[in-house]
Amino acid sequence: MDWNANCPVPLGRHERVLMAHGGGGRLMQQLIAAVFRPAFDNPLLETRHDGAALRLPQGGRLAFTTDSYVVRPLFFPGGDIGSLAVNGTVNDLAMCGARPLWLSCGFILEEGFEIAALQRVVESMRRAADAAGVVLVTGDTKVVERGKGDGLYVNTAGIGALEHERVIGPGSVRPGDRILVSGDLGRHGIAILAARESLGFETEIQSDCAPLAAPVLALLEAGVDVRCLRDLTRGGLGAALNEIARDSGHDVRVEEAAVPVREDVAGACEILGLDPLYVANEGRLVAFVAPEHGGRALEVLRRHEATAGAVEIGVVQESREGQVTLATRFGSLRLLDLPSGEQLPRIC
C-alpha cells in the first residue's frame, strides 16, 4: 500500500494513470484526493460541487465551472462532442442554481483532422448555445502533431449569475429530503456504445444530451426549497448519489422499483453485463428537495420537455455514514456502491 505523505487516502499500487482514473468512480476520487486536492486545497474547492459559487468583491454572486470533452466517437445518435461540450457546462452551472450566461471554449486539434468535421462540431455548438441561451465569448485553438491528439479535444468553461442567496450543494442536504430524478437512465452511455463499431449492435436509442437550466430556474422561481442538484454523467446515478451522500454526511435510501429505465436500455445493459444505475447520462439530473416540496417540484419539472419524466426515487436518512442503500423490489436491502473504475471508457 503506498501512502502519500500529504494525504491519508492510499493510491494503491498505481504509479501510472489508468483509464479507470477517468471513470467517475472510486479511482478517480482517489486521484483527486491524493494528487489534486493537497496541491490546490481551499474552502471553495472543498465544497466539492460541480461548479464554484463565488462572491464578487463589490457584491453579487457568480457560478464558475469547467469541463473537458474527450468522447469517442465524436458524432453519435442524439449529439456530438460539440453539443456535449455546451450542454455539459451549461448544466454544471445550472446545478449550482445559476442562470448560465457565458462560455469559453478551447479546442485541441490533431494535425490531419478534417475541417468539415470541425465545422459540424462548431455548428452544433452554436445551435446548442442558442437553445440554452448562452453566448460563447472567448476561445482558444491549439494544434498538436498527428498521432498526439486523437482528432479533437474540447474544453469549455462557463460563468452564470446566481440570482439568489441559496446555497445549493451537498452541505444543504438534510434527513427527510426527497430525492427526484428527472427522467429515465442510461440512454447516453448506451448510445455511445452503439456508435462504437467494435461492439456491433443496432439500436434506436439516442443520447439524452440536453440543457437543464430552464427547468432548474423554474424550480427556484416556484419557490421550491432545492437543497442539492447534480447532473448525472460518468458513473451514472450511482456515482452521483454516493458523492452527495458522502459529501453531505447523510445516508440515502433508493427504491429500486421507482428508478426509471427504458426497456431497450435495460436490454442493452443485460447483454453487455452493465448496471443501468451506473451508466452515463448527459441530460438528466438528480434533485434533493425539502420534504414538503416534493410534489410541487415534480409538477414543475414535468412541465419541461427535458425533465418530463421526473419521478421520486428515494429519501435522505438520519445516519451519518454517507452510504447509499437500495431497497430491492424483493424487500431486501443492499448497498449501492461507488463504482470502482470505468464502466464505459470515454463517454463524455
Partner 1 sequence: MCLAVPGKVLSVLGDDPIARSGRVDFSGIVKEVNLAFVPEAKVGDYVLVHVGLAIATIDEEEAQHTLDALRQIEALDQELQ
Partner 2 sequence: MKFIDEYRDAQAAGRLAQALARVATREWTLMEVCGGQTHSIVRFGLDELLPEGVTLVHGPGCPVCVTPVEFIDKALAIAARPEVVFCSFGDMLRVPGSAKDLFTVKAEGGDVRVLYSPLDVLALARRHPDKQVVFFGVGFETTAPATAMAVHQARREGLKNLSLLISHVLVPPALRAMLSSPLNKVQGFLAAGHVCTVMGFEEYEPIAREYRVPIVVTGFEPVDILQGVLMCVTQLEQGRHEVENQYARSVRRAGNQPAQELMRQVFRVVHRAWRGIGTIPESGLGLCEAYAEFDAERRFDVQGVTAQESPECRSGEVLTGVLKPFDCPAFGVTCSPDRPLGAPMVSSEGACAAYYRYRRRPAAAEA
Q: Name which of residues 192 to 221 contact partner 1 (CB under 8 A).
A: 194, 200-205
If one asks whether residue 147 binds partner 2 (CB under 8 A), the answer comes out as: no
Q: How far apart are CA 86 and CA 157, in angstroms?
A: 9
Q: Work out how close the CB of 243 gets to partner 2 at its nearest, in angstroms, rounded to a whole number.
A: 16
Cis, bond preceding 77 (omega within 30 deg of 0): no
Q: Out of 18, 137, 144, 308, point to the residue binding partner 2 (CB under 8 A).
A: 18
* Residue 328 contact partner, candidates partner 1, partner 2, none, CB within 5 to 8 A by sort of partner: partner 2
Q: Which does 198 bind (CB under 5 to 8 A by kind): partner 1, partner 2, none?
A: partner 2
Block residue for cell numbers 469541463? 67
Considering only 43, 59, 147, 273, the residue that binds partner 1 (CB under 8 A) is: 273
Task: Lay out the site mask for partner 2 across 67-106 (x = CB under 8 A, - = otherwise).
Answer: ----------------------------------------
How many Å from the N-terminal Cα to the C-terminal Cα in the chain?
A: 31
Q: How far apart are CA 215 and CA 337, in angstroms?
A: 29
The answer to whether 131 touches 83, Cβ cutoff 8 Å, is: no
331 contacts partner 1 (rule: CB under 8 A): no
CA 243 – CA 228 distance, rounded (Å) = 12
- In this structure, the number of other CB atoms found within 10 A of the CB of residue 4 comes to 14
136 Cβ contact partners less than 8 Å away, ≥ 6 residues apart:
102, 103, 104, 105, 125, 126, 129
Is residue 271 a contact residue for partner 1 (CB under 8 A)? yes
Are the C-beta atoms of 187 and 232 separated by less than 8 Å? no
260 lines the binding site for partner 2 (CB under 8 A): no
Instruction: Give the one residue of 217, 266, 290, 311 binding partner 1; rule: CB under 8 A.
Output: 266
Instruction: Kindly state the cell numbers that stand for 266.
Output: 435495460
Nearest to 278 by CA among 238, 325, 228, 223: 238
Nearer to partner 1, 205 or 324 (CB): 205
Contacting partner 2 (CB under 8 A), which of 3, 17, 140, 144? 17
- Which stretches of the chain bind partner 2, using CB under 8 A? 1, 10, 12-14, 16-20, 26-27, 30, 198-200, 257, 263, 266-267, 270, 272-273, 323, 325, 328-335, 337, 340-341
